[in-house]
Structure 1
Amino acid sequence: MQRHICFLVYSGFVLLDLSGPLEAFANASRARPSGYRFTVASLEGGLISASCGLQVATQALQVVDQLDTLIIVGAPTAPIDDRMPPMAAAIRQMSPRARRTASVCTGAFLLAESGLLDGRVATTHWNYAPQLQARYPALRVDGDRIWTEDGNVWTSAGMSAGIDMALAMIEQDLGKEVSRAVARMLVVYYRRPGGQYQFSSLQDFDPGSDRIRTVLSYVRDHLRDDLSVERLAEVAHMSVRQFGRVFAASVGVTPAKAIERLRIESARPLVEDGHQTFEEIARCFGFGDADHMLRSFVRVVGRTPQELRRSTRQAKGNAGAGAGNKGDPSPA
């Protein structure tokens, strides 16, 4: 039995928020013909204009049937206007008929308005995460994550993150091999973990100095090692005093703070994954021990590794319970 994926669009939606995940599911269906079928829907049906001006033919939402997954796409800005009330009402009506409901980018605002995100962890594009949290205090926004799964509700960050979320859904539905095959066909990284930051610290740190870029790359490749200022100065071919001054001027933070952020960014997916002890992870990424790693996470992330792991396990447990309640269609 094919799983029916319905994308809900509206005037001014972002085309990539639709086409990226849609193409991922379409490739999965080419690899496994029993995989998915698709509908692009809007409230009234007919031609709907994307933000780029391209028009997309849609089906009226009320005639969509046998729904497996409902995905609400995003807009270039938070859709807080006259589109919101009728969209939120339609989502409230349709979501109980779906095994899972999801959003891409600012589509999370419509999910939140519908009440589906109350009490859940959600994400959206990093630029709109503070606005989402302020407008909807009943949910908890994690603006760092690429995508989240809390029970049967999924949310993702902007643009290409919708593809990452789709690959995770494909893995859940059809297995890792199909998901890997789709990633290869789309020439994208195989399912970036949801806990990965929306943008890399190496990208965030944008030094004007080639020597400092070399140092940052060295740090990323040697997180397990003793990254003393003396060693990094050697990599940069500078004196210790000159290196400290040039690094802070180029990057905006001290070498110690930059190293801490890079270690946390690399360690967080393993912390949330739950397969390794905190001591093992701490040694692997140069924290020294679990206590030092805990203090770093509290300082930078605002949460302990234990809290991150616990919330991830809770979300996975809710997802399993949700799937059990709704029933997972068996592939033909």
Structure 2
Amino acid sequence: MLRNVVAIALPGVAPFELGVVCEVFGLDRSDQGVPGFDFDVVAETPGLVPTSMGFSLDVQHGLDRAREADLVTVPASPRHADTPEPVLALLRETLDRGARVLSVCSGAFVLGRAGLLDGRRCTTHWRYAEELQAALPAARVDPDVLYVEDDRVITSAGTAAGIDACLHLVRSELGAGVAATMARRMVVPPHRDGGQAQYVETPIAATPADTLGGLLAWATANLDADLSVQELARRAHMSERTFARRFRAEVGTTPLQWVTAQRVALAQRLLEEGEDSVELIAARCGFGTAAPMRHHFARLRGITPLAYRRQFRTTA
């Protein structure tokens, strides 16, 4: 059970990435019925720890505080800095005793130095992905995901992707309802597809980034409609070829991939919140029948719709 959580503050720790972990696991939300976490920030040596932004943190707990934690997190820090051996040993011990470790952004380099990414799928900020792969030939670095969980080792991409990874853990351990309540409090989506691209291509010259904003809003509200490239291009008053190029430039993926991801996300919410059959949900989401919905849901979520409902169904 996820109850005891620590964050390791290394010299040069990034305040925002550390703050993400503090926000998710350190804030008391018991007034909203959310279970509390026993959360602390630790350092190799208690005392002042310099951050990457020119100020220091007064950390009051040493590494011993992390010996019984259910989750040990490593926020971003300078990726070329040496990591103290006691910290690396702690991370290895954490995994050996069956607990989880999680990195945010360049924190993946620390997990790599501990040997925890060898043979595992992992990620980091897209700017550092090639560097991480070169440093860890035995790891399988995926630069196009927001977070990855591989056998109790969770790595997340740049900056705010740490929120996605932390809420993923909350969702897995405490249920979709708790994760949704926390997300609403934080004013963030309760779930972003972990398979989406971390960044979008630069829009073509003189093209405002929100050219397709109205169309995307309409499509999101009408996922059961005809959302073929032909129909979307017609609504955007473009040729199919121009539309496809503009869509990839602004959204970072193809129209078909985006529509499918939106339909799966809607199916996910309906499975969590309602009692409709898979067939009915498939129709409401624009899949037509249950078979294609099962296929795409399992491909993007790694679980069947019914299994997902059993695992994440929000109680009344």
Normalized against structure 1, the TM-score is what?
0.67
Which residue does 1:70 correspond to in 2?
A: 72
8 A contact 2:227–2:259 mirrored in 1? no
In the TM superposition, 1:127-206 aligns within 5 A as 127-190=127-190, 192-193=191-192, 195-199=194-198
Q: Per the alignment, in what secondary structure is the counterpart of residue 102 of structure 1?
A: strand
Which residue does 1:324 correspond to in 2?
A: none
Q: Per the alignment, in what secondary structure is the counterpart of residue 126 of structure 2?
A: coil
Which residue does 2:274 correspond to in 1?
A: none
Which residue does 1:323 correspond to in 2?
A: none
Which residue does 2:258 correspond to in 1?
A: 262
8 A contact 1:225–1:286 mirrored in 2? no
1:129 maps to amino acid: A
Distance in 2 separating the partners of 1:25 and 1:167: 10
2:140 maps to amino acid: R
Which residue does 2:99 correspond to in 1?
A: 99
Which residue does 2:19 correspond to in 1?
A: 19
In the TM superposition, 1:204-243 aligns within 5 A as 207-208=207-208, 212-215=212-215, 217-218=217-218, 225-226=225-226, 231-232=231-232, 234-236=234-236, 238=237, 243=239
Q: Per the alignment, in what secondary structure is the counterpart of residue 118 of structure 2?
A: coil
8 A contact 1:124–1:156 mirrored in 2? yes
Distance in 2 separating the partners of 1:196 and 1:307: 10
8 A contact 1:147–1:164 mirrored in 2? yes
Distance in 1 separating the partners of 2:5 and 2:103: 13
Distance in 1 separating the partners of 2:188 and 2:250: 33
1:111 shift after superposition: 0.9
8 A contact 1:18–1:73 mirrored in 2? yes
Distance in 2 separating the partners of 1:175 and 1:264: 24
1:29 shift after superposition: 5.5
1:107 shift after superposition: 0.8
Normalized against structure 2, the TM-score is what?
0.70
Distance in 1 separating the partners of 2:214 and 2:230: 15
**Which whole-Å deviations, capped at 9, do the CAs of 1:263-304 have from their partners, x for residues lacking one?**
35436769999x999xx979956799989xx9xx9xxxxxxx
Q: Are residues 1:36 and 2:37 paired?
A: yes
Q: Are residues 1:60 and 2:101 paired?
A: no
Which residue does 1:110 correspond to in 2?
A: 110
Q: 1:254 to 1:158 in 2, by over 3 A?
A: closer
1:10 shift after superposition: 0.9
Q: Per the alignment, in what secondary structure is the counterpart of residue 254 of structure 2?
A: helix
Distance in 2 separating the partners of 1:97 and 1:67: 10
1:116 shift after superposition: 1.5
Q: 1:254 to 1:98 in 2, by over 3 A?
A: closer
1:182 shift after superposition: 1.9
8 A contact 1:49–1:56 mirrored in 2? yes
Q: Are residues 1:80 and 2:76 paired?
A: no
Q: Per the alignment, in what secondary structure is the counterpart of residue 40 of structure 1?
A: strand
8 A contact 1:219–1:259 mirrored in 2? no
**Which whole-Å deviations, capped at 9, do the CAs of 1:37-63 have from their partners, x for residues lacking one?**
122112222111111123112222145
**Which whole-Å deviations, capped at 9, do the CAs of 1:238-277 have from their partners, x for residues lacking one?**
5x6xx4676477567699x83234235436769999x999
8 A contact 1:118–1:138 mirrored in 2? yes
Name the % identity: 31
8 A contact 1:100–1:152 mirrored in 2? yes
2:181 maps to amino acid: A
8 A contact 2:26–2:37 mirrored in 1? yes
1:152 shift after superposition: 1.9
2:168 maps to amino acid: A
Q: 1:129 to 1:223 in 2, by over 3 A?
A: farther
Unmatched segments (≥5 aa) in structure 1: 298-304, 321-332
Unmatched segments (≥5 aa) in structure 2: 272-276, 312-316
Could you say what the CA RMSD is over the residues aligned between the two structures, in angstroms?
4.5
Question: Which one scores higher on RCO, CA 8 angstroms, separation ≥ 6?
Answer: 1
8 A contact 2:124–2:157 mirrored in 1? yes
1:211 shift after superposition: 5.5
1:15 shift after superposition: 0.9
8 A contact 2:202–2:249 mirrored in 1? no
**Which whole-Å deviations, capped at 9, do the CAs of 1:4-50 have from their partners, x for residues lacking one?**
21111111111121112212223355346863212211222211111
1:176 maps to amino acid: A
Distance in 2 separating the partners of 1:19 and 1:28: 14
Q: 1:224 to 1:6 in 2, by over 3 A?
A: same
